């Protein structure tokens, strides 16, 4: 596994219902900067995205935003004080560039956009399209129900154990980073097993 230099963080454009979420975003942003790890994120200045970016910048970190032009035009959404801001045309371009710029991926609490982004890079890893680690920062049990569903998917035969194990789940950002640093991608890429009956 190559040395991690930049971490892509997916998170909500809202603050969420608990102050724990913003506190975790702030702690993660600060920790990344203190560790000399660049932050790649969605480029917004709102919700947890804004908290995360501001904390990393305040601690002297590199912060790279990637945002579609349509979102940048919305007042209060685009962040203007980043190390770099890439403006792209589509959400597909946004996700592809974020993935290219990063060496690992973390999901803070967020909604369907956060889920979609993390699950896409997880799928790419499952297919062997990249060897990069990924994980959930599980703040205040936010992801408990999601992981119960993933356990169910594994029990029901739709998710292999080795692919389930690809995503680290930790409540503490430093512990999560340590798990990402020690990640080993599955040796077997095969996803589809043909029925022999």
The pLDDT of residue 132: 97
Measured CA angle at 170 (ends 124, 164), to 5 deg: 40
Tell which residue, 16, 5, 11, 6, has the closest CA to residue 43.
11
Kindly report the pTM of this predicted structure: 0.93
Task: List, in order of start, the domains of the chain with CATH numbers.
Answer: 6-181 (3.40.50.450)
In the chain the first and final C-alpha atoms are separated, in Å, by: 39
The pLDDT of residue 98: 98
CA–CA dist 125, 8 (Å, integer): 15
CA–CA dist 42, 125 (Å, integer): 20
Task: Flag whether pLDDT at 181 surpasses 60.
Answer: yes
Task: Flag whether pLDDT at 196 surpasses 60.
Answer: no
pLDDT band at 197 (very low <50, low <70, confident <90, very high): very low
The pLDDT of residue 189: 63
Tell me the per-residue pLDDT of 97-120, one tens digit each, with 9 for 90 and over.
Answer: 999 999 999 999 999 999 999 999
Q: Measure the CA dihedral 127/133/139/145, to 10°.
A: 20
Tell me the per-residue pLDDT of 127-162, one tens digit each, with 9 for 90 and over.
Answer: 999 999 999 999 999 999 999 999 999 999 999 999
């Amino acid at each position: 596994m190559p040395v991690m230099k930049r971490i892509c963080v997916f998170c909500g454009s809202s603050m969420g219902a608990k102050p724990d979420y913003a506190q975790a975003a702030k702690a993660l942003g600060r920790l990344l900067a203190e560790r000399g790890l660049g932050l790649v994120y969605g480029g917004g200045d709102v919700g947890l995205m804004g908290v995360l970016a501001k904390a990393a910048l305040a601690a002297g970190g590199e912060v790279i935003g990637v945002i579609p032009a349509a979102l940048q035009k919305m007042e209060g959404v685009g962040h203007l004080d980043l190390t770099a801001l890439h403006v792209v045309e589509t959400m597909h371009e946004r996700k592809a560039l974020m993935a290219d710029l990063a060496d690992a991926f973390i999901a803070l609490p967020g909604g369907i956009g956060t889920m979609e982004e993390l699950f896409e890079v997880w799928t790419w890893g499952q297919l062997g399209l990249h060897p990069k680690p990924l994980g959930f920062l599980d703040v205040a049990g936010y992801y408990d129900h999601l992981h119960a569903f993933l356990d169910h998917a594994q029990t029901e035969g739709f998710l292999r154990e080795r692919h389930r194990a690809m995503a680290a789940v930790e409540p503490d950002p430093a512990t999560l980073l340590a798990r990402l640093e020690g990640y080993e991608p599955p040796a077997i890429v095969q996803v589809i097993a043909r029925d022999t009956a």
